Amino acid sequence: MAVEDNCKLKFLELKKRTYRFIIFRIDGQQVVVEKLGNPQETYDDFTNSLPADECRYAVFDLDFTTNENCQKSKIFFIAWYVILTFLLFISILLYIFHKIIRLKHLENVQYVASYDHIHLYTNSLKQD
């Protein structure tokens, strides 16, 4: 399965703060960009963009303040898994396989796997 060149280009643009997030999906035999979040969009905008019944990949640029009151930013690669039926389980396996391939192209990015919005926020993005 191929990763569309546009995916790599948009990721490089996200690193320059052009986007807040990118959501990717598998279309046939190719990973493609599904949605680009502008820099003003919030975490809630991002999670509301994730489908409730399909798996996705996403990259999210999180701004946060450390305990020492320092402003920081961290880019997260997120594998969005939805477990509803056996057929979706097959979809999850496909996304896991491609996650391994995609991580080779992403430098200085933290990987997060999640199955719902609350888990994504409380257990993954806010730990630092």
For the full predicted model, state whether its pTM sits above 0.75: no
Residue with tokens 């496909």: 94
Amino acid identity of 75? Answer: I
pLDDT value of residue 59: 95
pLDDT value of residue 90: 63
Nearest to 63, CA basis, from 88, 46, 86: 46
Nearest to 42, CA basis, from 62, 25, 13, 57: 62
Residue with tokens 């430098």: 107
pLDDT value of residue 35: 98
Indicate the number of domains in the chain.
1
Domain interval for residue 25: 2-125
Give the C-alpha separation, 82 to 37, whole Å.
Answer: 21
pLDDT value of residue 82: 75
pLDDT digits (tens, 9 = 90+) for 66-89: 899 999 999 999 888 776 655 666
Q: Tens digit of pLDDT per residue, the chain (128 long)?
A: 788 889 999 999 999 999 999 999 989 889 999 999 999 999 999 999 999 888 899 999 999 898 999 999 999 998 887 766 556 666 666 676 666 556 556 666 666 666 565 556 555 555 54
CATH number of the domain encompassing residue 117: 3.40.20.10
Give the C-alpha separation, 99 to 90, whole Å.
Answer: 14
pLDDT value of residue 3: 83
Q: What is the DSSP letter of 40?
A: T
